[in-house]
């Protein structure tokens, strides 16, 4: 069976872990080789990253993606696809929040009154694609609403999560995870030890 090579660019460590779990669960018959383009394994280990973590880091990596991809593919081989992740709460942000005074395009915030989950994520996807320094045919966007922790909760606590929906606010998500014994600082360690099973959310 041939391997599918997947590059990942994400806000942080947990997001990389969740993306891997989702991909392997959706395509159980395929063999995947994952390469964390950003953050790299070294950046994850040291918790130091030139571009910074969070959506600001994703923005800066996308602005010089050509160089990043050339370096990563020189080491690991050509990718079949590159998954780029940002949380949907970025739709409410401003570039000044990440210290960018001269963004490539001043298109944030991009949320509109009465936006649905689908329309907000679609608008944010367009923003993300505008960040890229070139046209790439192998980009797959990953935009959880409103944060990856919503998916994490569905994965780990299916029964307790039955009343949570995609439109549930982020603070409620964090508070429930904390009550279920999963403080934010520990969530990635627990994810690493969970078998490859995910119940894909969310209503």
128-146 per-position pLDDT tens digit: 999 999 989 999 999 988 7
Task: State the burial class of residue 132 (Cβ atoms within 10 Å of its Cβ: 0-12, 13-18, 19+).
Answer: middle
Q: Residue 158 domain-assigned?
A: no
Does residue 173 sit within a domain?
no
Distance CA 122, CA 30 (A): 28
In a domain, 106, yes or no: yes
Q: Residue 159 falls within a domain, yes or no? A: no
- Residue 124 falls inside a structural domain: yes
Over the stretch 144-168, which tens digit does the pLDDT of each residue have? 887 887 777 777 777 777 777 767 7
Q: Is residue 8 part of a domain?
A: yes
* 195 domain residue, yes or no: no
DSSP β-ladder status, 31-38 and 3-9: parallel
The pTM for the full model equals 0.82
Return d(Cα 61, Cα 74) in angstroms, integer.
17
Q: How many domains are contained in the chain?
A: 1
Residue 177 is assigned to a structural domain of this protein: no
Which structural domain, as residue segments, surrounds residue 114?
3-148
């Amino acid at each position: 069976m041939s391997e599918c090579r997947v590059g990942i660019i994400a806000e942080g460590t947990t997001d990389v872990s969740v993306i891997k779990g989702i991909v392997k669960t959706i395509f159980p018959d395929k063999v995947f080789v994952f390469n964390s383009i950003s953050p790299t394994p070294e950046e994850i280990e040291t918790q130091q990253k030139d571009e910074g973590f969070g959506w600001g880091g994703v923005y800066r990596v996308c602005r010089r993606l050509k160089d990043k991809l050339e370096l990563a593919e020189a080491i690991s081989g050509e990718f079949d696809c590159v998954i780029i992740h940002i949380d949907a709460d970025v739709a409410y942000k401003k570039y000044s929040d990440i210290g960018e005074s001269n963004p490539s395009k001043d298109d944030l915030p991009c949320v509109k009154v009465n936006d649905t989950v689908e329309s907000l994520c679609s608008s944010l996807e367009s923003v993300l694609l505008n960040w890229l320094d070139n046209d790439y045919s192998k980009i797959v966007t990953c935009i959880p609403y409103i944060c990856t922790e919503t998916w994490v909760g569905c994965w780990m606590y299916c029964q307790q999560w039955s009343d949570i929906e995609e439109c549930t606010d982020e603070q409620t998500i964090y508070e429930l995870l904390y009550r279920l014994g999963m403080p934010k600082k520990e969530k990635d360690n627990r994810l690493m030890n969970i078998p490859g099973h995910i119940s894909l959310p969310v209503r």
